[in-house]
Amino acid sequence: MSPGETIETERLFMRPPSSKDFETLHGIFSDPTTMSFWPVPFAEDDTRRWISRSLNDHAESGFGRQPVILKSSGEVIGDCGIVRAEVAGEPEYDLGYVIHHPFWGNGYAVEAAEACKHHAVERLGIRRLVANMPVNHTASERVAQKIGMRWEKTFRNRRNRNIETHLYAFESNPGL
């Protein structure tokens, strides 16, 4: 994905973030319900770092986390995307998704994650994606399953309070 490229679905689009997204994203990332499976909700500096890292990721590699926006209203409802990260001690392409709690239960996370997975495989040539979530985050686990990811293992996540975490993975078959 070149910097600035959007990913579209039937109801959503995703694009690299900008500094203009700060207030909306901070409202999502600082919400205790939305971020209940993260170590802590974001402080303002955390949101600024998230935007900065996402912008750097897009500039350096052409992909990263990005705001998820409802086409019908233009409202930012979360984020989704891929980052290079160490997950369970291995370098991986990590697919992540956060949807603001007022929008839970509408299939937006599945729609966004599937579009990012498809984009990663078809446009970026990424053959392996992972997603990780606390073992009690069943909604996130269902998203991974619905987009064709399979449980690979459970591990203690150093980046998230050392809690038990499921690792799901998707590996595309380059011959198909």
The one-letter amino acid code at 115 reads A
Whether 118 is in a domain gets the answer yes
Whether 1 is in a domain gets the answer no
Q: For the sheet with 90-99, list strands across it.
A: 7-8, 12-14, 65-70, 76-87, 90-99, 128-134, 163-171, 150-157
Q: What is the mean pLDDT of residues 143-157?
A: 96
Whether 176 is in a domain gets the answer no
Residue 142's domain spans which residues?
A: 7-171
Predicted local distance difference test score (pLDDT) of residue 118: 95
Q: What is the mean pLDDT of residues 160-166?
A: 86
C-beta of residue 66 within 8 angstroms of C-beta of residue 79 = yes
1 vs 165, which has greater pLDDT?
A: 165
The percent of residues in the chain predicted with pLDDT above 70, rounded, is: 96
d(CA 128, CA 125): 9
In the predicted structure, residue 3 carries a pLDDT above the cut 60:
no
State the pTM of this model: 0.92
Q: What is the CATH number for 35?
A: 3.40.630.30
Whether 66 is in a domain gets the answer yes
Q: Which H helix or E strand runs over 60? A: helix 44-61
Q: What is the mean pLDDT of residues 103-122?
A: 96
Angle between helices 22-29 and 44-61 (to 10 degrees): 120
Predicted local distance difference test score (pLDDT) of residue 160: 75
In the predicted structure, residue 2 carries a pLDDT above the cut 80:
no
Query: pLDDT tens across 33-70, in order?
Result: 999 998 899 999 999 999 999 999 999 988 999 999 99
Whether 132 is in a domain gets the answer yes
Number of independent structural domains in the chain: 1
The contacts of residue 136 (CB under 8 Å, 6+ apart) are 37
Whether 162 is in a domain gets the answer yes
The contacts of residue 44 (CB under 8 Å, 6+ apart) are 26, 30
The percent of residues in the chain predicted with pLDDT above 90, rounded, is: 84
